[in-house]
Amino acid sequence: MQPEELFKLKKVLFVCITLLAVAFLVSTHTKYDPQFSFESLEVNKNITQLKDLTIASVATPLTKNSETKYFYFNKASRDAFKKIKISAESFIVGDLNTGEIIMIKNQNKAYPIASVSKLMTALVTKELGKETDATIVSSRALATYGENGNFKLGEKIKTYDLLYPLLLESSNDAAAVLAEYYGGNAFIQKMNDVAKNLNMSSTAFGDPSGLSIKNQSTVGDLFKLTGYIRQNKQDILNITTKRSYTNKKHTWFSTNQFLHEDGYIGGKSGYTDPAKQTVVSTFSLPLTQSGTRPIAIVLLQSKDRQKDVLTIIKYLKKNIYYGGAKDAKANWIKEKLNIADIAEPDFVTLAFAGDIMLDRGVRYSVNKNFGGDYSDLFKKLKILKNSDIVFANLEGTASDKGRDLGNLYSFRMDPEVIPALRGAGISIVSMANNHIGDWGRVAYIDTIARLKENEIAYTGGGTLLEAENPTIIEKHGIKVGYLGFSDIGPNSMAVTEDAVGLLLANNPNFDTIISNAAKQVDHLVVSFHWGNEYKTKHNARQETLAHRAIDDGAKLVIGHHPHVVQDTEVYSPKSCTQSSCVGFIAYSLGNFIFDQKFSVPTMQGMLLEITLNKNGTMTTKKNTIKLNKVFQPDKVILGKEEEVKFQK
């Protein structure tokens, strides 16, 4: 071959190679190429079958030559899985570094995923956008169901800032604003394209928020998504580990149930009626002799996501280790075998807090001392995480709607209080008190909607059907019901067949409402707003109502309104002859967070913890919460645990 011909051939080869390289770069830029192994999602000979439930006995290692993998400690560890109760219809538990699957159930069955969808919304936003992108909040976006985010019409905001309300507060408005800015229907199509490129073959999206029942996936597909995000867009998961985030106009608060759990490294939860409770949660767990493993737990169709996830974590820590076969006889494994067995408790732990009022002086203090961050009020209250259910009295509405009706003291809290309450661990609030109507029914209705959006239950009000029936929360197979009454009014806000409102203690059906509620649950809690302000001893009216409630079937009676702690009482119904049927009354818990700094008693309150056994016996612990000068619960003085005994 002549030199000229050789030169031409080399030139042609160079052009061809260049074109191929460009084509490759383009394809990798426009198509997702996750460097993540999912081979172990397939059921293989290393999997033990239990009906529709599969547990990996020894998961397939990423590298075939690797000697480290997941093992059970022993046969008892494998059998222990049969004893734990998980309410989710479908779940997957796996290692995000290797792709090894430890536990799976119905991994290929598609269900609605609710707000877990927002992980994909965030991912697509990061792929399409850049930090300087900014958009205008439209009326169309604000028309989306839900108020979280607290945006204003015409507000200009950076798209990357929108990721915080999207992931911390699960703001549907934020999802709508992002999708609108990046092309509307084209954004939804991009979500589906990304799912396809990630090989999420059973996943589809109909909207960016998860409100649509068309947003469906499997736990296997969501595990793939989680693995990809962790390896390529870790900042998305990092956002979900924050307690709050502030820009120049807003402070957004996390509603995450797992934020304070040891080892939590990010995730997203959701809820709609069709989806039930859903979650993608990731943890760094000590499953090796030294160090931790990144574990993803994905649940769909759960009745209690928090309990399910924590049960799985306890199981993993006791029964699973990552290492080599020779580790089975190592001392660190033997030490783990001494951990107590995981069994369904036959009791429920309840916490009761006093009046929460975050307007007026508290609002001023939060803005001045905490930069508007209401979550700072609760940062020293990790004790709330110890209880299965946490109840408090919400002394006023949390809304930006309504009209001040001109009461001597009118309370209307910042709407952002609601996500902060959820993030603090509040499970249920009473809507029956004298300040709940200060800004009229419009603010009252808006507050109820915000509570629902943030998965905080309520009692003592709503529609007539809601008010007169117990709000039921089931934990460990024990149904606990809550009713709420106000004996202080306002009468103008009384619930009727035609208008939402609160349940009054002078209701002519008082006894029937309580006795009917008691028949629907294992244990009934009745809350009262009653008594005389600043009096440390209950009055005759309080005692009459409390005794009637227990005679009608209530187990616990919890009081608010006096703003100071009052006495407690053990009361036995007429037919009761043993400890399992006695009732307990706390006439007033005082203030939980309030701005009454004119006395020591009003700057503290009781945080009552009750362990209530399935058979009706119980123990109480009367803790004291002390507020500092900026109205932040600053000190918890633990009380003595006492058994409630039958008294003649």
Asked if residue 595 has pLDDT above 90, the reply is yes
* Average pLDDT value for residue range 609-632: 97
Q: Do residues 474 and 457 make contact, with C-beta atoms less than 8 angstroms apart?
A: no
Q: Residue 244: what pLDDT?
A: 96
Closest CA to 548 of 579, 509, 522, 496: 509
Range from 124-138, 334-348, 473-487, 578-592 carrying the lowest mean pLDDT:
334-348
pTM over 0.95: no
Range from 14-18, 59-63, 276-280 carrying the lowest mean pLDDT:
59-63
Q: Do residues 524 and 470 make contact, with C-beta atoms less than 8 angstroms apart?
A: yes
Asked if residue 49 has pLDDT above 60, the reply is no
Beta strand residue intervals within 493-617, DSSP E? 501-502, 523-529, 556-560, 568-571, 583-586, 591-593, 604-613
pLDDT-based confidence at 67, cuts 50/70/90? low
* Average pLDDT value for residue range 128-155: 96
Q: Residue 647: what pLDDT?
A: 77
pLDDT-based confidence at 70, cuts 50/70/90? confident
pLDDT-based confidence at 83, cuts 50/70/90? confident
Asked if residue 508 has pLDDT above 60, the reply is yes
Burial class (CB in 10 A: 0-12, 13-18, 19+), 4: exposed
User: Which of 59-68, 288-297, 368-377 has the highest mean predicted lDDT (pLDDT)?
Assistant: 368-377
User: Which of 84-98, 111-125, 277-291 has the highest mean predicted lDDT (pLDDT)?
Assistant: 111-125
Phi, psi torsion values for 296, nearest 5 degrees: -100, 135
- Distance, in Å, from the CA atom of 487 to the CA atom of 506, rounded to the nearest integer, reads 7
Angle (CA) 269 420 355, round 5°? 130
Domains of the chain in start order, with CATH, are: 111-336 (3.40.710.10), 347-643 (3.60.21.10)
pLDDT-based confidence at 72, cuts 50/70/90? low
Structure-block tokens of residue 166: 């999207």
User: Would you please indicate which residues are annotated as catalytic (active-site) residues?
Assistant: 115, 118, 170
pLDDT-based confidence at 65, cuts 50/70/90? very low
DSSP 3-state of 115? helix
Closest CA to 421 of 445, 447, 442: 447
Asked if residue 401 has pLDDT above 50, the reply is yes
The secondary structure element, H or E, covering residue 512 is: helix 510-518
* Average pLDDT value for residue range 177-187: 96
Q: Residue 338: what pLDDT?
A: 53
Phi, psi torsion values for 120, nearest 5 degrees: -70, -40
pLDDT tens for residues 373-383? 999 999 999 99
DSSP 3-state of 272? strand
Asked if residue 534 has pLDDT above 90, the reply is yes
Q: Residue 34: what pLDDT?
A: 33
Asked if residue 384 has pLDDT above 80, the reply is yes
Asked if residue 329 has pLDDT above 90, the reply is no
Look at 60 and 288; give whichever has higher pLDDT.
288
- Distance, in Å, from the CA atom of 233 to the CA atom of 238, rounded to the nearest integer, reads 9
Q: Tell me the helices (H) and strands (E) count for the chain, helix number first.
A: 17, 34
Asked if residue 531 has pLDDT above 70, the reply is yes
Look at 329 and 124; give whichever has higher pLDDT.
124
- Distance, in Å, from the CA atom of 601 to the CA atom of 141, rounded to the nearest integer, reads 47
Percentage of residues in the chain having pLDDT higher than 90: 78
What value does the mean pLDDT of the chain take?
Answer: 88
pLDDT tens for residues 273-324? 999 999 999 999 998 878 899 999 999 999 999 999 999 999 898 888 887 6
Asked if residue 216 has pLDDT above 80, the reply is yes
Asked if residue 568 has pLDDT above 90, the reply is yes
Range from 72-86, 277-291, 341-355, 532-546 carrying the lowest mean pLDDT:
72-86
Asked if residue 19 has pLDDT above 50, the reply is no
Look at 66 and 105; give whichever has higher pLDDT.
105
pLDDT-based confidence at 388, cuts 50/70/90? very high
* Average pLDDT value for residue range 207-221: 97
Structure-block tokens of residue 573: 């119904």
Which residues, including other chains, have CB under 8 Å from residue 8's CB and lie 6 or more apart? Answer: none
Q: Residue 445: what pLDDT?
A: 97
